[in-house]
Chain A
Amino acid sequence: MHDVLYVLLRRLRKPLITVIVVYAIAVTGFVLIPGQDDAGQPWRMDFFHAIYFVSFMGSTIGFGEIPYPFTAPQRAWTLVTIYATVIAWLYSIGSMLALIQEPGFSRILRRRSFAKEVRNFNEPFYLVCGYGVTGTAIIAGLCQRGIRSVVVDVDQERIDALQMDDLPIRVPGLCANASLPDVLDDAGLQHATCIGVLALTDDDNVNLSIAIASKLLQPEGVVVSRTESDVHARNLASFGTNHIIDPFRAYAEYLSLVAKSPYMHLVYDWLVNPYHRPLSSVYKKASGRWIICGFGRFGRALYDDFRQGNVETVLLDDNPAVLEGYENTVLGLGTEAETLLKAGVEDAVAVVAGTHNDADNMSIIMTAMEINPKLVTVVRQNLSSNRLVFENSRADFVMEPGRIIANRILAKLKTPLLPVFIEKMQHHDEVWAHTLLNRMSNIAGDRELDSWSVKVSDVSAPAVMAMFDQGMAVKLQALMKNSRDRNRSLPCFPLLHRRDGVLSMLPGELTELEPGDEVLFCGLSSAKGRMEWILKNYNILFYILTGEDPSFNLLSRILKRF
């Protein structure tokens, strides 16, 4: 905090000394040079008058020659000192202004005001390191839910972008290297209301050091880290990082669900992604032979998942070394028809263009679609600037690592019950998934399907608790009524109910709530706000339960007794 003051003082040494010295010389000159008083007698200026004269001369105010008109030597000296003092002033003011405008100095000032703003936070917030594609999506998601956040990024352009983005909540941003612990500290890592740290930079080593610092300085906080290599993932797991997200592995799991159980895949897609795939997309055949072009990190992750699900695969790569030891391989990139035909594209069900070159990927799916238009196509998008091309590619799946990580993390941050539900739903069959999907489709249609959880407790549901105190039972359906007309329902339905660790999937609407219950809902986000009213406002809940709308003020209560 004292940094600014010290830097300022140190830089001002020279200019200040210059001003003092010039003034001292000027004053001494006036004291020594002989003059005349108005009677023509020899007279010498004393220090008092000399300092007075130099002070107004130096600041170019100019009150004239006092107390008596000057002699020629005095005027000559005045001429010299006018220029000397003006230059000294210009020099010192100039260097002070230069200091204020200097990037280094303004960086210190910015960092101070950032740290101060974060220190004054009194509500829960997330510390997000890295404001790339992933960070942008996550901050937008958090803001939408009214959760505060703080951003640290090493690139000033991204921090500028943060300030330009029209976010509903103010998000302070700092341009600094997040792998330095004192930067994290300034960004509120040790703040009492910091919920967790998201390490989302594109450098695995930086993410690793962020995760380590966070775990050491704030052991209770949640730490989420993205990583793109297995070594780092194991390293992160070894010291208790809460969520480790590998975009390639995450997408491989997602895709293998397409091959195994398409309806379950859609349920997952609707719950996790803000823009879900249409219900009609499931009618394409997806079980059969998959052609994987590009056997890098993504290809390998996909291959591992497919092998577990007993899906037939053909691997393509132009580097014979990586294909060594695998069955069903074809040498070549897949950008030309010949190699694709060799891989059996005519009777395959899907082609995955997973190389690290966007142009190659587009070329692969375009060639493959020409040969076999019924193919399910998966294309990997490496650069977010290529979005326009990929959006119009008519590929069934576009894999963009940044977005995948963002959706995954948001699903985890939204409510801890959602991952529990996703994990548990995979034990059910396709018919179950299809029924669930129809219910979701009735409610959301093409809009975003949101999900949220409700806990019956004094803090989050005081109205429900008050009903319990009065001996009234509250059923689950009461929470899903429209507070303006209790005969209508809100666009949502319960997915999961948890009581004392016992989970029940898709609980009935007549389930009676008890204190401590947790319920996961899905539906439109407008229903979420309405439900808050029911949970927290006694009068609304009373109306929903009984159909009466009495007033509960003191006067009416007294009147009611008579």
Chain B
Amino acid sequence: MNREKVIFAFFIVLALTLNFGFFLGGFDEIAHHNVYELFAATIVSMICTVLKFGDRTHIGALMLATSLVADLQLVVAAMMWGYGVQMSVDGMTPELVSSIVSLSGGALLANVVSVVLLMVETIMVRR
């Protein structure tokens, strides 16, 4: 058992599950989406990105790319949330909520690709 691999897989899968948990629910229903979950998903996704730094393999490069995509989508979603709560005159409109949720849906897809790549890498190792 490789301790580094355990930590790595843990964070990747955690990023996916948190992201999925946030995504689940009505598209324009703010009550179905928890801000803490979005925060946790963003932080875990960032940690995943840093964990992938410095991997010289081809799969490592792909994983870094998917992770950066997830970060980007989640950070934009968080910024929209902040805009909706703090700056928008109308407050959190259903339109804003639906675009936040769809952005996190994009991040979810990127996280799924990350997990698929992780599985591919695991299958390729025949030891």
Contacts and interface: CB of A to CB of B under 8 A. Distances in A.
Nearest to A51: B82
B118 interface: no
A27 B56 CA distance: 33
Contact of B43 (A2, A11, A24, A48): A24
23 contacts: A7-B54, A8-B54, A9-B54, A10-B53, A10-B54, A11-B54, A12-B50, A12-B53, A13-B50, A13-B53, A20-B43, A20-B46, A20-B50, A24-B39, A24-B43, A28-B36, A31-B36, A31-B39, A46-B86, A47-B35, A47-B78, A48-B82, A48-B86
Contact of B82 (A9, A11, A47): A47
Nearest to A25: B43
Interface of B: 35-36, 39, 43, 46-47, 50-51, 53-54, 56, 78, 81-82, 85-86
Contacts of B85: 46, 48
The A interface is mostly helix, strand or loop, or mixed, namely helix
A193 to B, nearest CB: 32
A2 B81 CA distance: 38
Interface string A1-33: 010001111111100110011001001100100
Interface size bucket, A side?
20 to 34
B36 to A, nearest CB: 8
Interface of A: 2, 6-13, 16-17, 20-21, 24, 27-28, 31, 46-48
B86 A6 contact: no
B50 A16 contact: yes
A401 to B, nearest CB: 46
Nearest to A6: B54
The B interface is mostly helix, strand or loop, or mixed, namely helix
A20 B54 contact: no
A10 B53 CA distance: 6
Contacts of A21: 43, 47
A6 B56 CA distance: 7
Given A47-B82, A48-B82, A27 B39 contact: yes
A2 B55 CA distance: 12
A13 B54 contact: yes
Contacts of B43: 20-21, 24
A538 B56 CA distance: 60
Nearest to B11: A17
Most chain A CB inside 10 Å of its own CB: which residue of B35, B53, B82: B53
A474 to B, nearest CB: 64
Nearest to B83: A48
A7 B56 CA distance: 10
A9 B53 contact: yes
A28 B43 CA distance: 11
A393 to B, nearest CB: 60
Nearest to B87: A48
Contact of A17 (B35, B47, B82): B47
B37 to A, nearest CB: 12
A13 B54 CA distance: 8
Nearest to B64: A9
Contact of B47 (A7, A9, A20, A28): A20
Contacts of B39: 24, 27-28, 31, 47
Contacts of A48: 82, 85-86
A269 to B, nearest CB: 58
A27 to B, nearest CB: 7
Nearest to A50: B39
- 5 smallest CB-CB distances across A and B, nearest first, come from A10-B54, A9-B53, A9-B54, A24-B43, A48-B82
Most chain B CB inside 10 Å of its own CB: which residue of A6, A9, A11, A21: A9
A354 to B, nearest CB: 55
Contacts of A28: 36, 39
A195 to B, nearest CB: 36
A12 B51 CA distance: 10
Contacts of B36: 28, 31
A497 B56 CA distance: 61
A108 B48 CA distance: 28
B50 to A, nearest CB: 4
A21 B82 CA distance: 21
A451 B51 CA distance: 64
